[in-house]
Chains A and B, each alone.
Chain A
Amino acid sequence: MARMVTTRRKVISTVAAWLVGFVIFFPILWMVLASFKTELEAFAIPPSFLFFHWTTENYVTVQERSDYFHHALNSIIIAGGSTLIAMLIAIPAAWSMAFSPTKRTKDILLWMLSTKMMPPVGVLVPIYLIFRTVGLLDTRTGLIFILCLGNLPIVIWMLFTYFKEIPKDILEAARMDGATIGRELIYVLTPMAIPGLASTLLLNLILAWNEAFWTLNLSTLEAAPLTVFIASYSSPEGLFWAKLSAASTLAIAPILVLGWFSQRQLVRGLTFGAVK
């Protein structure tokens, strides 16, 4: 039975939690509000909180600048492409380690984890030079490749922890009934694995979308995703707060929605199963 909670305590917790939540969320809210102001109002002191002249002109401006679409498309292609390729490589690997473990499986898993610990700056120089030599600098292919490898350990780990939870007896039963490995994979494993696959896909889309080390260093214009496009607003020539806010809101909105759906899986994915 749940513990008795007095009404007073519940009221206090509720008020405190909403207050703290509001404070933490405030910068995002403030940015969204600024995106609906004119440049003059966004900059005004004292600031107007709700009673300003609401306008969508910033969004129109941002849309009209075709380069926004260009960078949004880059983000979609790079994040989506790297995630899909990582999944294609990781699914067989995780499947094999979860269902046919050997003595070395644990070592392999930990070794894969340790590759994720390598700081990207440690290999910035050779990657940059290799990319320059083979002409991959500022290309979507190059970024897809790097982000895919960077996230591969997390993808494998997440899938492994999900596959681990599928009861082995079911597979044994399927095998007894004479199912081949191919049929076992399609008819038994896949339906049970879909929730795990979906959350792995989601979390890695988010990580790839927000990645801001390789994208900033390896792309400038052609292949630059939204992280780099937004960074270009940091240049001091003129302050376009309202437009910056509109572009930022558009850039984070899809990921915020995806993220809210996958918040439970986030813990699992980022702690490598160490906290459940």
Chain B
Amino acid sequence: MATQQTQLLARTLLSPAVALLFIWMIVPLALTIYFSTLHYNLLDPGSEGFVGLDNFRYFLTDPAFLASLQNTLVLVGSVLAITILLGVPLALLLDQQVVGLSIVRLMVIAPFFVMPTVSALVWKNLLMHPVSGLFAWIAKLFGLTPIDWFNDVPLFSVILIISWQWLPFATLILLTALQSLDEEQKEAAEMDGASALSTFIYITLPHLARPITVVILIETIFLLTVFAEIFVTTGGGPGLQTTNIAFLIYSQALIQYDVGSASAGGLVAVVLANIVAFFLVRIVGRNLEA
């Protein structure tokens, strides 16, 4: 039973956070929108002028945009597929009785805590280096020609690194969900003579549907703007082969100093993220009421 006094207090306590987040959301976004209508290049000061939607036309018809959009979608889709398809069996495995489970859990979760620049460089040099990397040595052991990862399959190499970073996340969430699954339900199914496979299909998988959705949405939000891994490994290349939208905007803004075009690109990224966010917010919102 909140009195008027506590209500006032509650509002006072809440307002700094709301005000800050409001400014954080509105001011930069408004500026991005404003810049996106200007011809504005930092290398060419004094030439700013209103150009309407020209930047969007330029950005959206730039072949680099289509290439980077495709790379972004391939990257997000592949990492999602890999982390879920490996994460489900891995979570099921860790849900079994395993001797030393806590140590195994630690080993599985560890990659998530490694800073992106470290994991990207360790993979690029120690593992994927075409001459001295461990993968090259393994390939030679089997009489194969070592793959020159970042030249032959650059996007796939980036996908591999990012999947390694996010597999722990998917696994941990799915494992948490599995542990909340009612054991009695599974026992009953087993007593009724259900095979392990049908128990999985009819009991476990439906139970995992929601956490899988959550994993997909949250990973998508983060994966849409993967940056550091590309920045330290390929720099977007060779050519545009590993340039995603985030990296394209970065290079337009901070390498070519084309503020107008980068802002237009930024808004495209905001729209893409919002499509995903819309669904995520609804799922979380439904959970708030339960």
Interfacial residues, chain A to chain B (CB-CB below 8 A): 2-3, 5, 9-10, 13-14, 16-18, 20-22, 24-25, 27-28, 30-31, 34, 42-47, 89-90, 92-93, 95-97, 99-100, 102, 106, 108-110, 112-115, 117-130, 149, 152-153, 156, 181, 206, 209-210, 212-213, 216-217, 226-228, 230-231, 233-234, 239, 241, 244-245, 248, 251-252, 255-256, 258-260, 263-264, 266-267, 270-276
Say yes or no for B74: interface residue by CB 8 A criterion: no
Give residues of chain B (136-177) contacting chain A, Cβ–Cβ below 8 Å. 136-137, 164, 167-169, 172-173, 176-177
Give Cα distance in the complex from A2 to B285, angstroms. Answer: 35
Give residues of chain B (157-212) contacting chain A, Cβ–Cβ below 8 Å. 164, 167-169, 172-173, 176-177, 180, 183, 186-187, 190, 210-211
CB distance from B151 to the nearest CB of A (A): 14
Between-chain CB contacts (< 8 Å), 21 pairs: A5-B96, A13-B97, A21-B104, A28-B111, A47-B137, A100-B10, A110-B281, A115-B25, A118-B25, A118-B273, A121-B245, A124-B262, A125-B31, A128-B253, A230-B115, A230-B121, A233-B121, A256-B114, A267-B173, A274-B283, A275-B214
Decide: A121 and B225 in contact? CB cutoff 8 A. Answer: yes
Given contacts A44-B132, A181-B6, contact A18 B253 (CB under 8 A): no
Given contacts A17-B94, A113-B281, A255-B113, contact A212 B17 (CB under 8 A): no
Give Cα distance in the complex from A264 to B177, angstroms. Answer: 12
Given contacts A122-B29, A276-B176, contact A259 B109 (CB under 8 A): yes
CB distance from A211 to the nearest CB of B (A): 8
Q: Which chain B residues lie closer than 8 Å to A274 at the CB level?
A: 210, 214, 283-284, 287
Decide: B126 and A241 in contact? CB cutoff 8 A. Answer: yes
Write the chain A residue with the least CB distance to B174: A275
CB distance from A166 to the nearest CB of B (A): 16
Give Cα distance in the complex from A88 to B269, angstroms. Answer: 31
Write out, one digit per residue, whether chain B residues 272-288 have a CB within 8 A of any chain A CB (1) or not (0).
11101100110111011
Decide: B117 and A227 in contact? CB cutoff 8 A. Answer: yes
Write the chain A residue with the least CB distance to B229: A212
Give Cα distance in the complex from A115 to B280, angstroms. Answer: 13
Q: Which chain B residues lie closer than 8 Å to A226 at the CB level?
A: 115
Q: Tell me which of B111, B180, B270 contacts A122 (CB under 8 A).
A: B270
Q: Which chain A residues lie closer than 8 Å to B109 at the CB level?
A: 259-260, 263, 266
Interface residues of B: mostly helix, strand, loop or mixed? helix
Give Cα distance in the complex from A273 to B138, angstroms. Answer: 43
CB distance from B76 to the nearest CB of A (A): 12
Decide: B187 and A234 in contact? CB cutoff 8 A. Answer: no
Q: Tell me which of B18, B32, B107, B210 contacts A22 (CB under 8 A).
A: B107
Give Cα distance in the complex from A124 to B253, angstroms. Answer: 8
Write the chain B residue with the least CB distance to A214: B227
Decide: B10 and A96 in contact? CB cutoff 8 A. Answer: yes
What's the tally of chain B residues with a CB closer than 8 Å to chain A?
112
Write the chain B residue with the least CB distance to A210: B115
Decide: B285 and A110 in contact? CB cutoff 8 A. Answer: yes
Say yes or no for B43: interface residue by CB 8 A criterion: no
Give residues of chain B (1-30) contacting chain A, Cβ–Cβ below 8 Å. 2, 6-7, 9-11, 13-14, 16-18, 20-21, 24-25, 27-29
Decide: A14 and B137 in contact? CB cutoff 8 A. Answer: no
Give Cα distance in the complex from A92 to B246, angstroms. Answer: 35
Q: Tell me which of A13, A96, A233, A273 contacts B9 (CB under 8 A).
A: A96
Give Cα distance in the complex from A230 to B229, angstroms. Answer: 12
Interfacial residues, chain B to chain A (CB-CB below 8 A): 2, 6-7, 9-11, 13-14, 16-18, 20-21, 24-25, 27-29, 31-32, 35, 90, 93-94, 96-101, 103-127, 131-132, 134, 136-137, 164, 167-169, 172-173, 176-177, 180, 183, 186-187, 190, 210-211, 214, 218, 221, 224-225, 227-228, 231-233, 245-246, 249-250, 253-254, 259, 262-263, 265-267, 269-270, 272-274, 276-277, 280-281, 283-285, 287-289
Give Cα distance in the complex from A244 to B90, angstroms. Answer: 31
Decide: A106 and B285 in contact? CB cutoff 8 A. Answer: yes
Decide: A231 and B100 in contact? CB cutoff 8 A. Answer: no
Q: Tell me which of B28, B125, B254 contacts A239 (CB under 8 A).
A: B125
Q: Tell me which of A124, A248, A259 contacts B112 (CB under 8 A).
A: A259
Give Cα distance in the complex from A114 to B14, angstroms. Answer: 17
Decide: A20 and B98 in contact? CB cutoff 8 A. Answer: no
Decide: B273 and A122 in contact? CB cutoff 8 A. Answer: yes
CB distance from B214 to the nearest CB of A (A): 5
Given contacts A3-B187, A24-B108, A123-B29, contact A231 B231 (CB under 8 A): yes
Q: Which chain B residues lie closer than 8 Å to A45 at the CB level?
A: 131-132, 136-137
